[in-house]
Amino acid sequence: MELDLDTEMNLDDMDDDLLVIGDSQQYLFFILAGDIYAIDVNNISEMIEYQAITKVPLMLPYIKGVTNVRGKIITVLDLRERFGLGETKLNYKTSLVITNNIALIIDEVHEVTSVEESNLKESINFGVKIERRFVKNMASYNNTHIVILDCDEVLNIKEISQKRASK
């Protein structure tokens, strides 16, 4: 409980910084199936190392189950599988990014940094490996173009809460 409050406070502080910066926004850059993707940090409440997961039966394959984060029960979703890029192979770099009480499994945290608004663009590059609906926009980052994920679509409750079709 204590710790929860702390993380919330930290996010508040971040907000203040962002106000000062003005036209830029912070993003988490992470690696998934060999490519870099980004999520707006405002969507993220916490990042932790991968930890044991309790399987919940009958759900879609990418809903891996639930995990205990300081007494709170958090749903775990395999982002690679959600995007149809195969199941995540666990190693010591595997992490959980918690957004909206759902933990996303990612291969590796890359960095958290801010992106100027002028470096964002709506059009989607050719060669993006995931479905367009998951893409919010693109960001120029180290001379390449990176997909910024649309969290609302990735975590579309109606879609991800469906039960697995019976065999």
Q: What is the dihedral of CA 11, 12, 14, 15, to 10 degrees?
A: 120
3 state SS of 162: coil
* Least CB distance to another protein at residue 16 (A): 7
Contact 69, 46 (CB under 8 A): yes
Rounded to 5 degrees, what are φ and ψ at 96?
-115, 125
Write down the H helix ranges in 22-162. 79-82, 151-154, 157-160
Which residue number, 18 or 124, has a Cβ lying nearer to another protein? Answer: 18
Q: How far from 160 is each of 28, 65, 119, 154, 167, CA to CA, in Å?
A: 23, 12, 32, 9, 19
Which residue number, 66 or 85, has a Cβ lying nearer to another protein? Answer: 66
Q: Which residues bind another protein (CB under 8 A)?
A: 1, 16, 19, 52, 54-59, 63, 65-68, 71-75, 101-102, 157, 160-164, 166-167
* Least CB distance to another protein at residue 56 (A): 6
3 state SS of 57: coil
* Least CB distance to another protein at residue 52 (A): 7
* Least CB distance to another protein at residue 77 (A): 8
Contact 160, 151 (CB under 8 A): no
Which residue number, 124 or 160, has a Cβ lying nearer to another protein? Answer: 160
Which residue number, 142 or 166, has a Cβ lying nearer to another protein? Answer: 166
- Both tokens of residue 34? 């060999």
* Least CB distance to another protein at residue 60 (A): 10
